[in-house]
């Protein structure tokens, strides 16, 4: 597994890199045969009221279209990673059977339609656009595009989509319902529950 350790205004020495590598190897080796890569980022918690707190973000790619995210905070970088790794382990223990079953099914699904692509864009906030050329907003009707990427529109059941929403620590996810072919959306509500938007089948 390829592991990248980076710090945003945080020193990531050899001891920390070894700690991260050994910790992730233990977790992924327990739940996955071959995790692909992991990106671990450390940064300071600017919102902390007292003390010098550190944050650790772990983004793990455990297989084709299987992504997980975990976060942790601590008084130092080592402790922040341990908390994040603990959260990752709990998430893996909770979903390992469903994730493994789904990953295996993706590998053998040869009769499924080819994967679709969709475009994801990040729009500039209105207050930022006002300070710049507002004619761009008027021309395209939605504002300035500051980032754009192509991603795969996956075919999932609703339960699989909810699982991925939780694993990837996302607030919203669009997918094509594998049961009826319709575009669906699952999202995290303010009360913590998950919402589901089911559009008419094509």
Q: If you search the block for the tokens 């192509």, which residue do you land on?
A: 150
Predicted local distance difference test score (pLDDT) of residue 112: 56
Predicted local distance difference test score (pLDDT) of residue 33: 62
Query: Distance from CA of residue 60 to its chain's centroid?
Result: 8
Does 128 have pLDDT greater than 60?
no
Cβ neighbours of residue 17 under 8 Å, at least 6 residues apart? 5
Pair (48, 142) in one structural domain: no
Predicted local distance difference test score (pLDDT) of residue 133: 53
Does 137 have pLDDT greater than 70?
no
Pair (120, 59) in one structural domain: no
Which of residues 78 and 50 earns the better pLDDT score? 78
Q: Which domain holds residue 23?
A: 2-108
Predicted local distance difference test score (pLDDT) of residue 92: 77
Separation CA 142–CA 123 (nearest Å): 8
Predicted local distance difference test score (pLDDT) of residue 114: 64
Pair (88, 41) in one structural domain: yes
Pair (62, 120) in one structural domain: no
- The 10s digit of each residue's pLDDT in 9-65 is 888 889 999 999 999 988 887 776 666 789 999 998 777 545 568 899 999 887 666
Predicted local distance difference test score (pLDDT) of residue 149: 80
Predicted local distance difference test score (pLDDT) of residue 21: 92
Residue 184: pLDDT band (50, 70, 90) is very high
Question: Chain-wide mean pLDDT for the chain?
Answer: 79
42: number of Cβ within 10 Å = 25
Does 151 have pLDDT greater than 60?
yes
Separation CA 182–CA 159 (nearest Å): 15
Pair (93, 23) in one structural domain: yes
Pair (10, 46) in one structural domain: yes
Pair (145, 76) in one structural domain: no
Per the structure, the count of domains in the chain is 2
The pair phi, psi for residue 146, each rounded to 5°, is -105, -10
Separation CA 12–CA 183 (nearest Å): 43
Pair (86, 183) in one structural domain: no
Pair (55, 148) in one structural domain: no
Predicted local distance difference test score (pLDDT) of residue 56: 93
Evaluate if pTM is beyond 0.85: no
Predicted local distance difference test score (pLDDT) of residue 138: 45
Predicted local distance difference test score (pLDDT) of residue 110: 46
At 58, is the secondary structure helix, strand, or coil? strand
């Amino acid at each position: 597994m390829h592991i990248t350790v980076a710090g945003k205004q945080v020193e990531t020495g050899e001891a920390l890199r070894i700690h991260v590598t050994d910790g992730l190897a233990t977790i992924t080796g327990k739940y996955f045969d071959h995790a692909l890569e992991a990106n671990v980022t450390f940064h300071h918690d600017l919102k902390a009221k007292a003390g010098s707190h550190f944050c650790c973000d772990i983004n793990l790619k455990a297989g084709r279209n299987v992504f997980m995210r975990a976060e942790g905070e601590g008084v130092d970088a080592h402790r922040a990673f341990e908390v994040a790794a603990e959260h990752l382990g709990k998430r893996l223990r909770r979903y390992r059977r469903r994730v493994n079953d789904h990953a295996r099914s993706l590998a053998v699904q040869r009769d499924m339609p080819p994967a679709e692509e969709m475009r994801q864009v990040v729009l500039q906030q209105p207050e930022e656009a006002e300070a710049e050329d507002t004619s761009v907003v008027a021309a395209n009707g939605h504002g300035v595009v500051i980032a754009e990427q192509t991603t795969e529109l996956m075919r999932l059941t609703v339960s699989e989509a909810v699982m991925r929403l939780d694993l990837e620590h996302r607030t919203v996810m669009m997918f094509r319902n594998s049961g009826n072919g319709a575009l669906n959306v699952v999202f995290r509500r303010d009360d913590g529950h998950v919402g589901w938007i089911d559009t008419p089948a094509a």
